[in-house]
Amino acid sequence: MNIFNDLNLVASVDGGTGSKASIASGFGGASKTYDSASRLQKIMGDAMLSRIPEALLPEAVLDLGCGTGWFTRKLMTRYPEAPVTGADLSPGMLKQAEAATASEHVNWLNADAEQLPLADGSVDLVFSNLMVQWSRRPEAVLAECQRVLRPGGFLAMSTLVDGTLRELKQAWAKADPGQPHVNRFVPATEWCRLTGAILPGSTLELAPIRLSYESPMALNRELKHLGAVFKGKERRRTVTAPGRFRGMCRAYPGEGSGVVLATYEAGWLYWQKPTAG
């Protein structure tokens, strides 16, 4: 029996994330605004950096889904003697990363996380911040991380799980019933099953992060600047009417207070590959 089929994992975004080319293009289009809008990404990535064992002295580091290279550069600073590879599906993100990195001590790699062009056991540290939730086959991404890590190597990966942006989802359900507007993420229980099956001994830490916004439209702008707008197959092919946006804003919880909150259900995965014997 194929364990991945047996797990019956829910697709990470309503009915699928769309084609890989469209995902790469969408994030590439946001490459110039990404860093200014990436509050959540910085919070979650910094939390992961603090959990990497101090005793780990990697000879090769992989930043998987490196985006604009924000954490690639932090990894280069932390491990100045180790070659660092920043890999991303989006050529636009890699172009921005290379332009912002004043160092030749990094290799930029345009690659699919589900099929990495890296040798078995060639990396000591895989760092992946808020990338895997956009994959249709997260089990393949985890298996690739397992494959490329050397024995004793360490994986630090963050993701978002079900319940993320629930306030926005609730508001859109009232303003535009029956039409999805918010990405749907894998339930935490499914992530626990998946990671336990593929990476025995791994730990998955879960915690909500709540960020404040001036208005629901400010939240919408931030998601757009991140390239993290709704990517499901059910999305409208035409621009959403202004009236629907106004209805969403009226329905958003807490709008009357002048500040609104958005909840992100964060997950951090940590795993150290067993040494031989």
Q: Which domains does the chain have, with CATH numbers?
A: 10-162+184-209+265-272 (3.40.50.150)
Give the pLDDT of residue 240: 65
Give the pLDDT of residue 109: 95
Give the pLDDT of residue 136: 87
Beta strand extents in the chain (DSSP E only): 61-64, 84-88, 106-110, 123-128, 149-160, 203-213, 260-272
Tokens of 231: 């990517």
What pairing do the DSSP bridges indicate for beta strands 123-128 and 106-110? unpaired
Distance (Å, rounded) from C-alpha 163 to C-alpha 21?
A: 27
Distance (Å, rounded) from C-alpha 74 to C-alpha 269?
A: 19
Give the pLDDT of residue 73: 94
Distance (Å, rounded) from C-alpha 193 to C-alpha 190?
A: 5
Using CA of residue 201, residue 198, residue 14, residue 18, what is the dihedral sign?
A: positive
3-class SS at 107? strand
Tokens of 253: 């919880």
**On the CB side of 54, how many CA atoms lie within 13 Å of its CA?**
0
Please give the average pLDDT of every successive group of 10 residues along the chain, which has 277 residues. Answer: 30 44 50 62 95 96 95 95 94 90 87 96 97 92 98 97 94 89 90 95 96 89 70 55 86 77 96 85
Give the pLDDT of residue 30: 46
CA angle 165, 268, 142 (to 5 degrees): 105
Backbone angles phi, psi at 211, to 5 degrees: -115, 145
- The Cβ of residue 210 has, within 10 Å, a number of other Cβ atoms equal to 9
